[in-house]
Structure 1
């Protein structure tokens, strides 16, 4: 029997920097819808589920998921580990992918490559990602774990950052889990120089511009095509370049054993305008 793959898309309306970002419009559809459209392009057979919270603010996410035709699971607001675990149990998953909803430019081919690596080494790894260490442009985050691995984390994780961010208990304890990493085959490392994720208004302007430039010609545009566009039109790269390398690690660098200070950057205090 083939493993049942579940892709969990974590989404919520609350955001201290850009509230409601998953519902922002991209070419007439929500950012969440555009991201799901890309996830549905992967070659591996997988069940998709949007995992949001039980708070009233997130009713709109359930409504949107239903409109897209994707099931929605609702659970804890702040305990994302529990939200992933409960969704995985509900859908009888054997393999769980964690994909945050702030990655609408994620390349389906990259997801397939990481999945190929995981299954080529099935039984060797409990957890495989392309983040430890990261090499792809930020916003191509893929984390894959066996249900046994996720269950272990759910049963034993206690620190707030482990509960909020789902997987730190796993990759922070390499003595307990067999961990694999898939590096960008190009040999390049753009993880701190290129930002394809959304957390600030400038990120939205950047992502919306990428879609306007590439989507009409090819709705399955790749990471390579984005990079080619940025080389041709550096003004697009500059829209959110000041936030490159800014990630959640910066809030927990003193707590993390396996992440060094050069893998994160503090957010600038000034902003730039849409270009």
Structure 2
């Protein structure tokens, strides 16, 4: 069974354009995500999935030059982008991560993979934000489930009142899965009290970026563990004020 991690990223972020290539300690942010994922014991292939738009060219160059696979597909229909990327790289199990999570932890990722495989789920996600800190996000699902969602969504016949739902299914790869638990065997990896905190460690705004930049500047270690990061914020709660007012879209 081949496990392929597909990392979605693009340059056109509304709140912080070009965020995925903004440098942290002189290294583009997206490479922290990819390099940390490369430490997983179970992932066989890592693919950066972006759009065919010309504005993605700097991102593509950076990731390709770092030695990672790049797939270019549909910009707004991210579901199709994942379907096409998974077809090309022949994954049996697909992991979804976003390029704006530079603290993604390979230990957590491997824990989710193990839970998924032990219980024969169709789809498993980290229990974010209910019992896990946002920024350590990881989702995993079978290729068969992805194909099923793609075929279902592509053949939907809906009226204008349901148009927003269709667009959500296309934009958010796994949205259809967890909205239809009757059609998929779904699991959640819940966090302990240690991880059940309202910290925000993904990057969507400049405030988010400043917090991430501060943490990496403090540790000077691109592979700093999630535990070390959480302990550091626990001891320095004023750090949360940097992006406390940022609302998740």
3-state DSSP of counterpart to 1:118: helix
Aligned equivalent of 2:44: 46
Supply the distance in 1 between the matched residues of 2:189 and 2:148 (Cα, whole angstroms). 22
Structure 1 residues 51 and 205, CA gap change in structure 2 (3 angstroms): same
Q: Shift of the alpha carbon at 1:119?
A: 1.2
Supply the distance in 2 between the matched residues of 1:221 and 1:205 (Cα, whole angstroms). 17
Kept in 2: contact 1:132–1:181 (CA 8 A):
no
Supply the distance in 2 between the matched residues of 1:126 and 1:40 (Cα, whole angstroms). 24
Asked whether 1:194 is paired with 2:195, we answer no
1:38-82 deviations in whole A, cap 9, x for unaligned? Answer: 111112132000000000001111111111100100000000000
Unaligned runs of 5+ in 1: 249-275
- Flag the structure with higher helix content: 2
Q: Shift of the alpha carbon at 1:237?
A: 2.2
Q: Shift of the alpha carbon at 1:139?
A: 0.8
The correspondence of residues 32-111 of structure 1 with structure 2, limited to 5 A, is 32-111=30-109
Supply the distance in 2 between the matched residues of 1:182 and 1:232 (Cα, whole angstroms). 26
Kept in 2: contact 1:129–1:181 (CA 8 A):
yes
Supply the distance in 2 between the matched residues of 1:28 and 1:140 (Cα, whole angstroms). 23
Q: Shift of the alpha carbon at 1:228?
A: 1.2
Between 134-143 and 160-169, the greater mean CA deviation after superposition = 134-143
1:166-208 deviations in whole A, cap 9, x for unaligned? Answer: 1111110011111011111447522xx1100011100010001
Supply the distance in 1 between the matched residues of 2:129 and 2:233 (Cα, whole angstroms). 24
Structure 1 residues 45 and 17, CA gap change in structure 2 (3 angstroms): closer
Supply the distance in 2 between the matched residues of 1:132 and 1:21 (Cα, whole angstroms). 22
Aligned equivalent of 1:161: 168
Aligned equivalent of 1:206: 211
Asked whether 1:131 is paired with 2:127, we answer yes
Asked whether 1:226 is paired with 2:229, we answer yes
Q: Which runs of 4+ in 1 moved over 3 A?
A: 131-134, 185-188
3-state DSSP of counterpart to 1:69: coil
TM-score, with length taken from structure 2? 0.91
Supply the distance in 2 between the matched residues of 1:226 and 1:187 (Cα, whole angstroms). 11
Structure 1 residues 161 and 11, CA gap change in structure 2 (3 angstroms): same
Q: Shift of the alpha carbon at 1:224?
A: 1.5
Kept in 2: contact 1:230–1:236 (CA 8 A):
yes
Aligned equivalent of 2:184: 177
Supply the distance in 2 between the matched residues of 1:132 and 1:207 (Cα, whole angstroms). 19
Unaligned runs of 5+ in 2: 157-165
Kept in 2: contact 1:114–1:128 (CA 8 A):
yes
The CA RMSD over aligned residues, in Å, is 1.5
Q: Highest relative contact order (Cα 8 Å, sep 6+), 1 or 2?
A: 2
